[in-house]
Structure 1
Amino acid sequence: MTQQGARWTADQVLALAPDDSSRRAGSKLGTAGPWSEAGSCDEGAVWGLCKGSGSRPYQTIVDMAGTAAPAYKCSCPSRKFPCKHALGLLLLWAGEDDSVPTAQRAPDWAEEWISGRRERARDKRTADAGSSGGGSADPEAARRRAERRAERVTAGATELEQRLADLLRGGLATAERAEYGLWEETAARMVDAQAPGLAARVRELGAIPASGPGWPVRLLEECALLHLLDQGWLRRDRLPEPLRATVRSRIGLPASAVGPPVRDDWLVLAQYDTADAKLTTRRIWLHGAQSGRTGLLLSYGAAGRAPELALPVGLVLDAELSPYPGAGQARAALGQTFGPPAPTSVRPPGVSTAEAAVRYGEALRADPWLDSTPVTLDRVVPVPDGESWQLADADTDSALPLTPTARSRPGLWRLVALSGGAPVKVFGECGHRGFAPLTAWPEGPGEAVPLC
């Protein structure tokens, strides 16, 4: 955005939308009709006045200078970020080259917010730099708090082991007759033990008996994994440090990213949200063009609100990432950025469907509780498989089935349309339930197509 010739695509703009309704509403505002006084500057800001239902137009500003993701300001009453006006403004800017002219400076109403925001960002970077490496103000107090929490988690894991033993002793059929409140009560006990990871897995157990045919097998598998996690915690002193860090992470104990940070041109592979009654979690997958590493950024928002961090799929970000501890963990923390996301022709290297299955197996060796691992498939074709779908390798006889969730997403039809029977490159998550496609590229020249 700092170079006015480097325009985004409409798909990259719409990938910032917090939900489908915002995406549709923003698309309607991506034309010149409702806009006046629209402009942009080489420092990475775009602004405009959008006609609304009231007598005064909405003042809309988008700024990306020195940040990983855009920042938004709009005088409309919407609580969504970005709102439909910000999306429409970016779509207008991403369209014809003369739709949003370049200006020497922003108008006063926009300049005041842009300058204030950038000054606050500089102050925050200075404060972060000053506090980095400072450690806890009272290391001894922090150590005692960690020991008390470990004792509570140990008590919770011991209690959970007894409850699992009671379930198996009474037979899995008793789980079907038990009401969900029994599982919720057990989960609440794990919350009291300050082990939110255990609580989440217990709640998942409660939903399995109502999940359809074959539920006893699935319940037994999940009970075994939960037992393994309990035992990993209770015998953590016998584990190598990387696996011990993974157990702590799966239990739900907090951890900080460990250095050194890796600076790279990080390609935004995919972005998608999952939500429950309390929290919206955003997952952003990145690929390092030089390092070849894969990183996962997690961002959170309160229920009903999208997380603030948003990166357009298919763009590249010059930034530093610091990995979190743990065997096979891809999670990373976003550090200093050296410019806004920019268009790129970079694509991640791909593997065959058979190699993807092997990668998941290797990842499970490091993290037995891993549902899936990030993989890019090269030269695959989406084909129907009875009532389901699969990605068939164009060069071999192997294929990967799509997950049930992926088969129900609208993105499947975007993938089928992009392919048209020809091979495509697809990034997604490969796990024991199948492959979940998240982004695709045509075999020839073309932009990334988000599928979620």
Structure 2
Amino acid sequence: MNQQGVRWTVEQVLALAPDATSRRAGGELGATAPWSGTGSSGTGAVWGLCKGSGSRPYRTVVDTTGPAYKCSCPSRKFPCKHALGLLLLWAGDAEAVRDVDVPGWAGEWLADRSRRAAEQGRGAAEDRPARAADPEAARRRAERRAARITAGATELEQRLADLLRGGLASAERPGYGLWEETAARMVDAQAPGLAARVRELGAVPGSGQGWPVRLLEEAALVHLLDRAWLGIDRLPEPLAATVRARVGLTAPAEGPVVRDDWMVLAQYDSADARLTTRRIWLHGRETGRTALLLSFGAAGRAPQLALPPGFVVDAEIVPHQGAGQLRAELRERFGGTVPIEAPPPGGSVADATAAYGQALRDDPWLDSWPVTLRGVVPVPSEDGWQLADAGGPQALPVIPAARSRPGLWRLVALSGGGPVTVFGECGHRGFAPLAAWSGDSPETVTLT
């Protein structure tokens, strides 16, 4: 795989922005006026000097094979607006950012980055035996944590019983504070997965019309997870691994290494008051496997891991254990990136719902499942939009959260009333479109 001659699209650059403010600011810097000394190399480096408010321009360099960013500006966002502006200029104007020799200031950072990556790889290999040096101490720590989680799950069962005994309507009176207190106890019990579900319970009464039904659904799922944990010794190991992950016991990725040409289908962030979570969906061109990479950053900070949607990366991933689990860790990348030449294989709406149903058998707490719809048309409905099979009566509603996003209108424009291929997440609330392809072009249109 070779990076030379392959430039990202504007949409792929903007997909890397940590927030809407950075996206707008980067767009303003995506012109030639503020830049000088720009250039790129066939190995995936892009650099330039951006005029700022001071006397010295900001030195900006990007390694697109990471991607990774370096800028002399004081911003703590990754990528900063200067890196976004430089990439937008590189993507949109080949004459403004030509292939030239790497200047010394950019070359030093690129060389240092390569050296540190090599050292980290050696260090990780050396550390693996050391981490397993005292299995008895690790076993005792795991037993103590399991005991705390069991105590927390037992307390949560009592809280759910009190809720049902008092009636669902009573859940509105205490407000969110009581649930937050219960969630804090789950954190103390070292069960962050249970804590997150408790916080979701606390938010349901204020979610609008029909909240009692949703509260009952969420309470049932929490109860099921509690009972599964309390009886985990009787579960088959794949399901037990899923329960441990849902409770919050994150195990290291220890599955077999899988190397493939991975299509980067989508990347998007979600955030709360504590954490920013980045989800990157991959599909193996040879293995046909779908994988989810998760990366985290502190509140207000973008995670470090970023891959440009619409490209293919030759890489190794290590899957996590668990029934129906798609999560994996990125182990190592080889070479650069090339554009996706064709969308992943897909099926009908019926195929998508069947795949989600099958996945629920392995993981009852699953909110959605990645699917690719082929030959669907976005059409308006009474309560929003839906994706309908071009040759049949079946359709999937687009989730409410996606109806206000610009990506929905990009999808409608791409379709023009004709069938398209759409990748997204299919769940009990509907379908969340993340990427699309028309029959006339292999170019990936990002919808996030």
TM over 0.5: yes
What is aligned with 2:59?
A: 59
What is aligned with 2:11?
A: 11
2:284 to 276, 282, 288: 288
What SS is found at the alignment partner of 1:159?
helix
Contact 2:255/2:321 (<8 A) preserved: no
Deviation, 1:133, is 4.9
What is aligned with 1:236?
A: 232
CA–CA distance in structure 2, aligned partners of residues 444 and 428 of structure 1 = 20
Q: How does 1:31-430 map to 2 (within 5 A)?
A: 31-64=31-64, 67=65, 69-104=66-101, 106-430=102-426
Cα 1:281–1:382 shift into 2, 3 Å: same
What SS is found at the alignment partner of 2:148?
helix
Contact 1:311/1:341 (<8 A) preserved: no
Contact 1:267/1:346 (<8 A) preserved: no
Instruction: Provide, for residues 395-445 of structure 1, a one-character-per-residue CA deviation record: whole Å limited to 9, x for no partner.
Output: 111000111111122211111111111111111100000001011111221
What SS is found at the alignment partner of 2:366?
coil
CA–CA distance in structure 1, aligned partners of residues 253 and 4 of structure 2 = 35
What SS is found at the alignment partner of 2:339?
coil
Instruction: Provide, for residues 179-235 of structure 1, a one-character-per-residue CA deviation record: whole Å limited to 9, x for no partner.
Output: 221111111111111111111111111111122222111111111111110010000
Query: Comparing 268-277 with 50-59, which one deviates more in the overlay?
Result: 50-59
**Aligned partner letter, 1:449:** V
What SS is found at the alignment partner of 1:338?
strand
Deviation, 1:303, is 0.5
**Aligned partner letter, 2:5:** G
> What residue ranges of structure 2 are gaps of 5+ in the alignment?
none
CA–CA distance in structure 2, aligned partners of residues 133 and 431 of structure 1 = 41
Contact 1:379/1:443 (<8 A) preserved: no
What SS is found at the alignment partner of 2:143?
helix
CA–CA distance in structure 2, aligned partners of residues 449 and 6 of structure 1 = 17
Query: Comparing 24-33 with 114-123, which one deviates more in the overlay?
Result: 24-33
CA–CA distance in structure 2, aligned partners of residues 133 and 407 of structure 1 = 50
CA–CA distance in structure 1, aligned partners of residues 219 and 154 of structure 2 = 14
TM-score, normalization: structure 2? 0.97
Identity value in percent:
71
TM-score, normalization: structure 1? 0.96
Contact 2:343/2:421 (<8 A) preserved: no
What SS is found at the alignment partner of 1:206?
helix
Deviation, 1:280, is 0.3
**Aligned partner letter, 1:83:** C
CA–CA distance in structure 1, aligned partners of residues 42 and 313 of structure 2 = 17
Instruction: Provide, for residues 133-160 of structure 1, a one-character-per-residue CA deviation record: whole Å limited to 9, x for no partner.
Output: 5542311111000000000001111111
- Aligned pairs, how many? 448
Contact 2:340/2:442 (<8 A) preserved: no
Cα 1:314–1:53 shift into 2, 3 Å: same
What SS is found at the alignment partner of 1:268?
strand
CA–CA distance in structure 2, aligned partners of residues 263 and 219 of structure 1 = 42
What SS is found at the alignment partner of 2:435?
strand
CA–CA distance in structure 2, aligned partners of residues 344 and 179 of structure 1 = 49
Deviation, 1:84, is 1.3
**Aligned partner letter, 1:229:** L
Deviation, 1:266, is 0.4
What SS is found at the alignment partner of 2:177?
helix
Contact 2:436/2:444 (<8 A) preserved: yes
What SS is found at the alignment partner of 1:309?
coil
CA–CA distance in structure 2, aligned partners of residues 115 and 98 of structure 1 = 26
**Aligned partner letter, 1:163:** R
CA–CA distance in structure 2, aligned partners of residues 5 and 173 of structure 1 = 62
**Aligned partner letter, 1:187:** A
What SS is found at the alignment partner of 2:49?
strand
Deviation, 1:389, is 0.7
**Aligned partner letter, 2:71:** C
> What residue ranges of structure 1 are gaps of 5+ in the alignment?
none
RMSD: 1.4
**Aligned partner letter, 1:62:** V
**Aligned partner letter, 1:53:** S
CA–CA distance in structure 2, aligned partners of residues 367 and 446 of structure 1 = 34
